[in-house]
């Protein structure tokens, strides 16, 4: 007979196992039931299947949802349409302002010539007076060409743009000035800057294109004379006291678009 606990050989009448000290029973079958370790059996897990496999389709992977190409095309067309409309609006706005600037640039080639000659060459009808009293009140000119559309700036109606001509006694053109009133529609103070624009770093002879790139703002007005071109900018910033400080910046170039000099004028509220 064997000890049911350690398996050592024991006598049939031994009460205790001489090796492990386990109590022995005369009923050997009962002793084996007590001392024998039971093996716990766990059912093996069933493989996880997709719904399709459960229905008999086979395979374990879930099927990826298919793209609805029809809906995707509709969404893409809608997005492209919106982008196209925005671009068209921006182009139209740009062309409106560019028309007056191009007209002034063409007219500047006739400074010193009779204004009637220039009028025929530049294909523009010059008037003696603006259709807008607000413009006449703030600007001096002898002849004017202006946009058909108008804008409201600080409660006053102006043309979108205007090209102002000054003449001498013999009605020859002495200066041509382009004014972009549409650019002031959003904010009469001009462009917001973080601080005052430093023009001291520019040297005489620097190119206008390089300065324009760094200034990053369009001129409100451009005046052409025989020897110079003067660009006028409007911007504002918050000073140390937190007050808004508007500035009018004059930048002068020669006929070759080379920097000559500049001046800044602080605009205070009593003169706004």
Is the residue at 63 inside a domain?
no
SS3 state at 146: strand
SS3 state at 232: strand
Is the residue at 45 inside a domain?
no
Is the residue at 89 inside a domain?
no
Is the residue at 74 inside a domain?
no
Looking at residue 55, its pLDDT comes to 54
218, 174: one domain: no
Is the residue at 1 inside a domain?
yes
Written as six digits, the tokens of 170 are 């013999």
207, 134: one domain: no
Q: Are 255 and 244 in contact (CB under 8 A)?
A: no
204, 270: one domain: yes
Q: Please identify, among 131, 152, 184, the residue that sits at the C-terminal boundary of a domain.
A: 184
Q: Please identify, among 155, 184, 213, the residue that sits at the C-terminal boundary of a domain.
A: 184
SS3 state at 235: strand
Looking at residue 17, its pLDDT comes to 81
Is the residue at 86 inside a domain?
no
What is the rounded distance in angstroms from the CA atom of residue 244 to the CA atom of residue 266? 11
- Of 154, 85, 144, 136, give the one whose Cα is nearest residue 119: 144
Q: Within 10 A of 130 (CB to CB), how many other CB atoms are there?
A: 19
Mean pLDDT by 10 residues, the chain (272 residues): 78 76 63 54 55 51 64 79 60 57 93 91 90 91 94 91 95 96 87 92 94 93 95 94 93 95 83 44
102, 179: one domain: yes
Sign of CA pseudo-dihedral 210, 216, 218, 219: negative
103, 176: one domain: yes
Looking at residue 218, its pLDDT comes to 93
- Of 89, 97, 95, 119, give the one whose Cα is nearest residue 107: 119
Q: Are 163 and 144 in contact (CB under 8 A)?
A: yes
The neighbouring-strand residues paired with 156 are 153
Looking at residue 19, its pLDDT comes to 82
SS3 state at 22: coil
141, 104: one domain: yes
What is the rounded distance in angstroms from the CA atom of residue 84 to the CA atom of residue 90? 10
196, 175: one domain: no
Written as six digits, the tokens of 69 are 């190409």
Looking at residue 8, its pLDDT comes to 81
128, 197: one domain: no
Cβ burial, residue 162 (10 Å; 0-12/13-18/19+): buried
Q: Within 10 A of 236 (CB to CB), how many other CB atoms are there?
A: 18
Is the residue at 84 inside a domain?
no
Find the domain containing 259 and state its range. Answer: 187-272
109, 176: one domain: yes
215, 152: one domain: no
Specify the number of domains making up the chain.
3
104, 180: one domain: yes
What is the rounded distance in angstroms from the CA atom of residue 46 to the CA atom of residue 58? 15
194, 179: one domain: no
What is the rounded distance in angstroms from the CA atom of residue 196 to the CA atom of residue 235? 9
Q: Please identify, among 153, 184, 215, the residue that sits at the C-terminal boundary of a domain.
A: 184
Is the residue at 223 inside a domain?
yes
Exposure of 191 in the CB half-sphere (CA atoms within 13 A): 16
């Amino acid at each position: 007979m064997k000890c049911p606990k350690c398996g050592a050989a024991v006598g049939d009448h031994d009460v205790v196992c001489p090796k492990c000290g386990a109590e022995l029973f005369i009923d050997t079958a009962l002793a084996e039931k007590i001392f024998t370790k039971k093996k716990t059996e766990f059912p093996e897990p069933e493989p996880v299947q997709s719904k399709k496999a459960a229905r008999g389709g086979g395979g374990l992977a879930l099927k990826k949802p298919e793209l609805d190409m029809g809906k995707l095309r509709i969404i893409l067309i809608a997005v492209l349409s919106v982008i196209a409309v925005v671009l068209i609006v921006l182009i139209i706005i740009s062309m409106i302002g560019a028309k007056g600037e191009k007209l002034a640039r063409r007219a500047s080639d006739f400074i010193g010539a009779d204004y009637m000659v220039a009028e025929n060459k530049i294909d523009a009808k010059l008037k003696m007076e603006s259709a807008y009293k607000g413009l006449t009140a703030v600007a001096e000119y002898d002849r004017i060409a202006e946009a058909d559309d108008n804008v409201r700036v600080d409660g006053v109606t102006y043309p979108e743009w205007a090209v102002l001509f000054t003449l001498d006694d013999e009605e020859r053109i002495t200066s041509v000035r382009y004014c972009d009133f549409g650019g002031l529609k959003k904010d009469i103070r001009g462009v917001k800057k973080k601080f005052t624009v430093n023009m001291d770093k520019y040297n005489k002879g620097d190119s206008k294109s390089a300065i324009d790139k760094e200034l990053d703002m369009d001129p409100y007005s451009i005046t052409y004379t025989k020897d110079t071109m003067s660009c006028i900018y409007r911007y504002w910033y918050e000073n140390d006291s937190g007050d808004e400080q508007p500035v009018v910046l004059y930048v002068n170039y020669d006929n070759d678009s080379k920097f000559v000099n500049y001046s800044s004028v602080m605009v205070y509220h009593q003169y706004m």
